[in-house]
Amino acid sequence: MKKSKVYSWRLSSERLQGLERAARSRKRSLSSLLDEIASEWLAANAPHVDQRRLHQAAATWIGSIHGLGFDAADASRRVKDVIRAKHEREMKGNGHGRSHAR
């Protein structure tokens, strides 16, 4: 990758010395070491990596509802019925008096 941008920041002498030691021990420049560190951090912290971690965490719970004594289709129907009844009560309370026949 072509490097055309310059960035600088302040850091403690100890941090700089540690980075310089690490670069020397790997027989590379400080610049290339920092570039590698930044690349690895970006790869590990990219939004898709976070999304993958969330999916992995959620995967353990997917499909675990079936043992609670109801099925998803029944629960969905019950939720629709509750919402429909609430909506009908609100419509009657507003003087609209319409109800939806099934």
Is the residue at 3 inside a domain?
no
With a cut of 70, say whether residue 65 has pLDDT above it: no
The yes-or-no verdict on residue 52 having pLDDT over 80 is no
Is residue 87, in this structure, part of any structural domain at all?
yes
Q: How confident is the model at residue 85 (pLDDT cuts 50, 70, 90)?
A: very high
Residue 98 sits in which domain range? 69-102
- Name the domain count of the chain: 2
- More confident position, 31 or 63: 31
Kindly state whether residue 96 falls inside one of the protein's structural domains. Answer: yes
> 82 in a domain, yes or no?
yes
Q: What is the pLDDT of residue 70?
A: 62
Instruction: Grade residue 91 by pLDDT with cuts at 50, 70 and 90.
Output: confident
In a domain, 84, yes or no: yes
The answer to the question of residue 25 being in a domain is yes
Angle between helices 13-25 and 30-44 (to 10 degrees): 100
